[in-house]
């Protein structure tokens, strides 16, 4: 995020979620200022051009051109860059291993799979997410991200009645399951129902062969250094950090 544009965000108290998303997109991608049309910006942020014009007016500008001119003026100011120390901090011994694990995961996340996810995000509006145990936390994280993008996203877990899913499945277009093992029965049950009602099934699991992966239309395999998922579920590995990194990368590529 460019600090020179953050003053715009402080003026957004009365903005809708969609309007704020447009503003945040420009602060995160300052190089777009002056190089993107109102239609291109609307397409990139999943809003209408009318939404962008309302945003400009709420910020006190007559239209998009005046708003962009103001952004250019802000960007013309010299940014404050903190002095950098020449000496790098000593890194933990396991840092290199975590980096290697990330690289292993992203060897499996092909361009084709990333494009499939981006297409789903652009073409579909309603998402049902499911996770059990620790996986619920990451399913919830992705749910919130999708909601910020203006998508209809609902999160459920084992604590919810099975009837909740049965009653609502037909309303959603995409089922996203997060399961480290890919063998959790509650998750498999919902995936079967999702397939039966015509939902697209997306799964995030560990890379070893598992039932959920075989059921998914789009499967993201993550490296997991734990020898056995059940025996070492309480142990700290790079699996979860891999998962968050992957989710953010997919969302960034789909919306950037």
- Assess whether pLDDT exceeds 80 at residue 91: no
Q: Do 162 and 189 form a contact (C-beta atoms < 8 A)?
A: yes
pLDDT confidence of residue 191: 95
Q: What is the mean pLDDT of residues 70-88?
A: 65
Task: Count CB-CB contacts under 10 A for residue 6.
Answer: 11
> Among residues of the chain, what percentage have pLDDT more than 70?
89
- Assess whether pLDDT exceeds 70 at residue 228: no
Distance CA(56)–CA(38), nearest Å, equals 11
Give 131's pLDDT tier (boundaries 50, 70, 90): very high
pLDDT confidence of residue 214: 95
Residue 181's contacts (CB-CB under 8 Å, 6 or more residues apart) are 205, 206, 210, 229, 230
Distance CA(195)–CA(116), nearest Å, equals 17
- Assess whether pLDDT exceeds 60 at residue 230: no
Q: What is the mean pLDDT of residues 154-179?
A: 88
Dihedral, 168, 169, 172, 177 alpha carbons, nearest 10: 120
pLDDT confidence of residue 42: 92
Q: What is the mean pLDDT of residues 169-193?
A: 93
């Amino acid at each position: 995020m460019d600090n020179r544009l953050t003053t715009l965000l402080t003026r957004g108290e009365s903005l809708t979620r969609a309007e704020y998303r447009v503003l945040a997109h420009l602060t995160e991608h300052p190089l777009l200022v002056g190089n993107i049309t109102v239609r291109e910006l609307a397409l990139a942020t999943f809003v209408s051009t009318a939404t962008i014009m309302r945003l400009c007016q709420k910020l006190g500008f007559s239209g998009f051109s005046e708003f962009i001119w103001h952004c250019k003026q802000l960007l013309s100011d010299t940014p404050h860059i903190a002095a950098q120390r020449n000496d790098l901090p000593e890194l933990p011994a396991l840092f290199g291993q975590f980096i290697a694990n990330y690289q292993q995961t992203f060897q499996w996340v092909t361009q084709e799979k990333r494009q499939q996810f981006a297409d789903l995000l652009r073409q579909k509006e309603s998402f049902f997410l499911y996770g059990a145990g620790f996986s619920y936390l990451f399913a919830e994280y992705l749910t919130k991200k999708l909601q910020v993008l203006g998508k209809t996203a609902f999160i459920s877990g084992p604590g919810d009645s099975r009837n909740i899913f049965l009653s609502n499945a037909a309303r959603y277009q995409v089922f996203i399951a997060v399961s480290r093992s890919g063998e959790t029965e509650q998750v498999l049950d919902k995936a079967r129902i999702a397939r039966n009602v015509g939902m697209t099934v997306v799964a995030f699991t560990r890379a070893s062969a598992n039932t959920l992966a075989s059921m998914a239309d789009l499967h993201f395999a993550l490296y997991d250094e734990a020898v056995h998922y059940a025996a070492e579920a309480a142990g700290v590995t790079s699996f979860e950090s891999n998962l968050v990194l992957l989710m953010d990368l997919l969302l960034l590529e789909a919306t950037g």
